Structure 1
Amino acid sequence: MQATAIGGVLEALRIGVGFLWTAAWAIIMGLTITSLVQVYVSKERMAGVLGDGDLSGLARATAFGAASSGCSFGAVAIGKGLFKKGAHAVNFLAFMFASTNLIVELGLMILLLLGWEFLLAELLGGVVLIAVMAVIVHLTLPENLFDDVRETLAERDRDAGVTEDPTCGMEGSDEYTLTTDGGETLRFCSEGCLETYRQQTASSGGWREELLSWGGWYRIANQYRKEWSMIWTDVVAGFLISGFVIVFVPQWVWNALFVQGDGLLVTAENAIMGVTIAVLSFVGSMGNVPFAVALWGGGISFAGVIAFVYADLITIPVLNVYRKYYGWKVMLYILGVFFVTMAFTGFLMELLFDALGIVPDLAGGETATEQTYFELNYTFYLNLVAFGLSGFLLFVYRRGLGAPGQYRDPVCGMRTDDSEPAATRDGETYYFCSRTCREAFEENPDEYATGRPMVTEGHDH
């Protein structure tokens, strides 16, 4: 019995890690493309981009979201900032969906793990879902519901002294602050966003000139690191959970949850149950793609799987964030609107794909347990290239090649200049990115004062 259990765990790990190996190059390449887009594609101010609740504003919100990828929690936090700035309810909801479901890295993962049919359903269905959601919101939105909540949210944040990160719109922190030449104190949500602001103010020239300089590649590397920091836990959890679900969940469980057979009622039940499982799964963002593979392997219908993939914005942890931000009424309204639109769109996609004769045939392929994941094939070579690219970006960031600021903060390693907080020890002057780092240095100088402050050679700006 014990040997059987150990064998099952090893097989689950083999499948989970195998899925990750299969999709690794796609994730890395997708995040690199996303970083390039976010660094070099100019955007209007967020609230202006989202505009009013008309078709033009909805289209811009969708496009902006697709170019602003992030995890579910990051999308919700940014959505809150957009909402506070006055974005229409339809548009900030569309932005959140697009930023978690219409992004490059997710599309590549779906293509590799589920097939082109699911990718087409994700992209086409994503547009349909946003359109359906917009119609439902316009027809059902209670009068003044969001306006009242917006005023309450803004007042609460003012009372609590909450300020927004000027680079991403998320909540700023006292730990990451910067004082401008005009005396304004800016607060950032993270070290990465603070450094992004420094890069934006220090950079000059167009994107072509930037890509020919270390400073331009440093900006990409910093954005790449930020993207990974948002999604890595969801990715790892999703792949590992999928392996254990495939190995340990017996077939009768899937048969009990999902009605088998043909017909509209069966398709509708599978779509509704797909969204329900997503709500309860606690797996969001890109982590739900390998989980969807487990569902597909269990014999769930096309509608159920694609509806599950859509539903990463209404998992229980994300719903709790809505509650904290907006209160119970808005949380329940968002849950209701997203649940209906996600289930309906999954249902609609199966009907459309069935009419076109392109619903994939599960019986025609290998199961997850039958597949051999680690072979000397195109995946191996693409992963070598992707890991090399990731290593290069990490090297650029860690070495601070082309980073703005002449000195390196001895505490956190960020670049800074002589206008920032400073401290002197044994005749040497050290410069810091923030008061927090200076205080950490002063509390334990022997830990950080290992030599002269590092000065950037060949400073680009």
Structure 2
Amino acid sequence: MEAALVDGILESMRIGVGFLWTAAWAIIMGLVITSLVQVYVSKERMARVLGEGDVSGVAKATLFGAASSGCSFGAVAIGKGLFKKGAHVVNVLAFMFASTNLIVELGLMILILLGWEFLVAELFGGIILIAVMALIVHLTLPETLFDEVREELSQRDHDQGITEDPTCGMEGKDEYSLVTDGGETLKFCSAGCLETYEQAVSGSGSWRDELLSWGGWYKLGNQYRKEWSMIWKDVVAGFLISGFVIVFVPQRVWNTLFLQGDGLLVSAENAVMGVAIAVISFVGSIGNVPFAVALWGGGVSFAGVIAFVYADLITIPVLNVYRKYYGWTVMLYILGVFFVTMAFTGFLMEQLFSVLDIVPNLAGGQTATEQTYFERDYRFYLNLIAFALSGFLLYVYRRGLGAPGQYRDPVCGMRADESGPSATHDGETYYFCSNQCKRSFEKNPTAFSHAHPQVSGVNSSQNHEHH
């Protein structure tokens, strides 16, 4: 008995880590692409264009969300900031869904672990889901309730001194604060975000200049680190739990929870149950993709699996965050709207794919237990490249945040010291992180000379990552 249990645990670990190995390069490459977009998308512009709940506003919220990757909790925190600044509630919900379900790294993971059919259902179904959700919200929205909640939320955050980080939208902290030249106090969620803000204010080069300098790569490395800090727990939990579910949950459990067979009733029940399992699974973000593989292997229908993947924004821990931000009434409203739209869209995708005859065949392919994961194939080499890129970005981040330099490169905003390249303009000496930035400065010094060369407003004790 004990030997069987140990064998089961080892097999669970092999499958879970094997899934992670299979998808690691996709997660890393997706996060790098997302980080590039994040560095160059302004959150302030975002809030300004999301004020109207019309088709254009919903479309923009969806696009901004897809470009603003994050974990479920990060999406909810940023959504709260957008809501406080006047964004329409349907746009906030669309933004949150897109930023957790229509993102590059999730798409790559679904493609690798579940197949192209699920990817199409995730992307096309995600757009349909947002449209259905917008319709339901417009038909049922208690306008005065949300107006009151917005006022109460703003007042409560004001009373408690809570402000959003201007670089990422997360909640700012007192220990990472800065007083601007205009006397405004800004609070940041971490030393990395504070440094990024300082860098953006000081640097004024183009993105091409920045990506040819240490400063631009620092921004990318810092954003990449923040993306990982938000999702790594969900990723690890999702992969490990999936292995244990595949090995230890007997088939009769799936047969009891999910109706078997064909027909509209079976599809509808599976979709509803898929969302319900997601609510109580506690696994959110991209961590629910390997869990979905376990459901698919257990014989859950296409509708049930895709509805489960949609539902990472209504897990119990995330619902508790809604309650703390907005109160019980709004939390239950969001749960109701998301539950209905997610189950309905999962059901709709299975019907549509059945008509098109592209529902994947469960009988084909190997089971998770039969698969071998650690071979010297294309995944091995892609993972080597991805790990090397990760190591480089982490090195650049450490080099940037911990830099002892007392000067700011006026082109990219990177810290620099007297040992690096320098140039003099109008009697002021400027120091640079690289010769590329120095050359950019010398081509047009008046474009950069407004930046004060001395580092200001940053206490050296803040230059440590808090995550």
Does residue 419 (structure 1) correspond to residue 443 (structure 2)? The answer is no
SS of residue matched to 1:364? coil
1:147 deviation in Å? 0.5
Taking structure 1 as the reference length, the TM-score comes to: 0.88
* Mapped partners of 2:202, 2:85: distance in 1: 27
* Mapped partners of 2:113, 2:266: distance in 1: 25
- Tell me the amino acid that sits aligned with residue 227 of structure 2: E
| Number of the residue aligned with 1:177 | 177
- Tell me the amino acid that sits aligned with residue 116 of structure 1: W
* Mapped partners of 1:39, 1:154: distance in 2: 27
1:184 deviation in Å? 2.4
* Cα displacement string for residues 400-449 of structure 1 (whole angstroms, at most 9, x for unaligned residues): 28763347xxxxxxx99653466xxxxxxxx4448xx8xxxxxxxxxxxx
- Tell me the amino acid that sits aligned with residue 93 of structure 1: L
* Mapped partners of 2:173, 2:77: distance in 1: 14
Partners of 1:172 and 1:189 within 8 A in 2: yes
Structure 1 window deviating more from structure 2 (248-257 vs 178-187): it is 178-187
| Number of the residue aligned with 2:368 | 368
| Number of the residue aligned with 1:38 | 38
* Mapped partners of 1:206, 1:367: distance in 2: 50
Partners of 2:303 and 2:350 within 8 A in 1: yes
* Mapped partners of 2:324, 2:337: distance in 1: 18
RMSD: 1.8
* Mapped partners of 1:181, 1:41: distance in 2: 24
* Mapped partners of 1:33, 1:91: distance in 2: 24
| Number of the residue aligned with 1:309 | 309
* Cα displacement string for residues 216-243 of structure 1 (whole angstroms, at most 9, x for unaligned residues): 1111011100100000000000000000
| Number of the residue aligned with 2:415 | 405
- Tell me the amino acid that sits aligned with residue 144 of structure 1: T
SS of residue matched to 1:83? helix
* Mapped partners of 1:147, 1:101: distance in 2: 27
1:175-254 pair list within 5 angstroms: 175-254=175-254
| Number of the residue aligned with 2:154 | 154
* Mapped partners of 1:308, 1:353: distance in 2: 17
* Mapped partners of 1:421, 1:358: distance in 2: 57
Does residue 270 (structure 1) correspond to residue 253 (structure 2)? The answer is no
Structure 1 window deviating more from structure 2 (79-88 vs 46-55): it is 46-55
* Mapped partners of 1:85, 1:42: distance in 2: 14
> Where do 5+ consecutive residues of structure 2 fail to align?
404-411, 418-432, 434-452
* Mapped partners of 2:13, 2:396: distance in 1: 33
* Cα displacement string for residues 45-93 of structure 1 (whole angstroms, at most 9, x for unaligned residues): 2321213000000000000000000000000011011111111110000
- Tell me the amino acid that sits aligned with residue 296 of structure 1: W
| Number of the residue aligned with 1:134 | 134
1:43 deviation in Å? 6.1
* Mapped partners of 1:161, 1:122: distance in 2: 39
Partners of 2:43 and 2:167 within 8 A in 1: no
Partners of 2:47 and 2:82 within 8 A in 1: yes
1:42 deviation in Å? 5.2
Structure 1 window deviating more from structure 2 (207-216 vs 116-125): it is 207-216
* Mapped partners of 2:462, 2:242: distance in 1: 41
1:182 deviation in Å? 2.8
1:281 deviation in Å? 0.1
* Mapped partners of 1:226, 1:237: distance in 2: 18
* Mapped partners of 2:195, 2:294: distance in 1: 40
- Tell me the amino acid that sits aligned with residue 297 of structure 1: G
Partners of 1:420 and 1:433 within 8 A in 2: no
SS of residue matched to 2:176? strand
* Mapped partners of 2:222, 2:98: distance in 1: 23
* Mapped partners of 1:188, 1:12: distance in 2: 40
SS of residue matched to 1:362? coil
Percent identity at matched positions? Answer: 79
Taking structure 2 as the reference length, the TM-score comes to: 0.87
SS of residue matched to 1:175? strand
> Where do 5+ consecutive residues of structure 1 fail to align?
408-414, 423-430, 438-461
| Number of the residue aligned with 1:426 | none
* Mapped partners of 1:421, 1:302: distance in 2: 53
Does residue 291 (structure 1) correspond to residue 291 (structure 2)? The answer is yes
Distance 1:143 1:10, change over 3 A: same
1:332-411 pair list within 5 angstroms: 332-400=332-400, 404-406=414-416
Partners of 1:254 and 1:298 within 8 A in 2: yes
SS of residue matched to 1:174? strand
| Number of the residue aligned with 1:323 | 323
SS of residue matched to 1:296? helix
Distance 1:298 1:201, change over 3 A: same
* Mapped partners of 1:50, 1:120: distance in 2: 27
| Number of the residue aligned with 2:409 | none
Partners of 1:272 and 1:304 within 8 A in 2: yes
SS of residue matched to 2:278? helix
1:362 deviation in Å? 1.1
